Amino acid sequence: AVDALGYGYIGINTHNVSVNNEPGSEASKNLRRAFATIFSVYRDLAVSSYYGDRASVINYPITNTSWAAPQPTDDGYQIAFSKDAKGEPIYTSGMSDEDKYAAAKKAALGFLEAAGYTVADGKITAAPAGAKMEYEVMIPGSGTGDHPSFMILTEAQKAFAEIGMKLSINDISNSSDMWNKIQAKQAEMWCAAWQATPDPDMFQVYYSDIANGGAAPGGSNYMYQIEDADLDTMILQARESTDQEYRKTMYKACLDKIIDWSCEVPIYQRKEVTIFSAQRVQVDTITPDMSPFYKWYTEIENLQLTK
């Protein structure tokens, strides 16, 4: 078993989930933070239920297989979306799961109020200009809820209903329908997974304005519609350097920017398991030290079948 070269996430289009058609404003970010906060608190429950010990929750939008992925021992490492609208920690040590769910719901209500929603008796009663009281999240669960993030959505749906927001879950049987909607920039939120490359270059995903082979919009323009000159500059500076430590520092700053935009909620890092039949394969000839970058077939010329 090795970590998969990629990770699962929930994406949010910054233009379609915004206040007053200003995706980069603090009000718009607070709206998206409300969703991200609720989604985040149910990650442990959903990931462990779906994958068991074959996946773990991640806190940055990057695969753990990357040398650039922040580690819990690094300075500045934070649990994703664990602070409220005032910048204070939402959770305290020793909190039960139920206490965490209640704290996240309270923090989400605070974010919605900071986004300009009218709040009365613990619920939102009116939306600010350009925002809504109902949002849709798409998930390719084959129409049966077969997806690692499905439990996140069902629990979040109940939590949001208690504070006056309707979260509509669209469980899509044909995933191409979801991607067509994303490409057309009509999606609000969606569940998916990224496939990563050995180098953690963020240009193809988060740079503001690039063309994908000239056929379709690429980068953030295709997915999240981030418009951030500082993020663009940092991405370019990081990809032009050969100093790995410098690049890791720059990419950490980029990841913090992406979290600040609240356009992507990191969910899980899963494992891939390669299974061999000991009755058919000589086990001592299997490729040793397999990793996300060194696959079972890397030394396939040494693999021998049993006689």
pLDDT digits (tens, 9 = 90+) for 252-303: 999 999 999 999 999 999 999 999 999 999 999 999 999 999 999 999 999 9
CATH 1.10.3470 fits 6-195+263-273, yes or no: no
pLDDT of 222: 76
Q: Which residue has the tokens 């890092």?
A: 269
169: tokens are 């879950």
Are the CB atoms for 119 and 64 separated by under 8 Å?
A: no
pLDDT for the residue 59 = 98
- HSE at residue 162, side-chain half, CA atoms within 13 A, is 13
Q: Does the pLDDT of residue 213 top 50, yes or no?
A: no
Q: What is the mean pLDDT of residues 137-148?
A: 96
Q: Is the pTM of this model over 0.85?
A: yes
pLDDT at 203: 86
Domain ranges of the chain: 6-195+263-273, 275-307
Neighbouring residues of 43: CB distance < 8 A, sequence distance ≥ 6: 57, 152, 267, 268
Q: Which residue has the higher pLDDT, 165 or 219?
A: 165
In our burial notation (b when 16+ CB lie closer than 10 A, e otherwise), range 48-83 reads bebbeeebbbbbbbbbbbbebbbeeeeeeeeebbbb
Does 202 score more than 50 pLDDT?
yes
Q: Which residues contact 51 (CB under 8 A, 6 or more apart)?
A: 148, 268, 270
The answer to whether residue 215 scores a pLDDT higher than 60 is no
Q: Report the b/e string of 260-278 with b at 16+ CB within 10 A.
A: ebbbbbbbbbbeeeeeeee
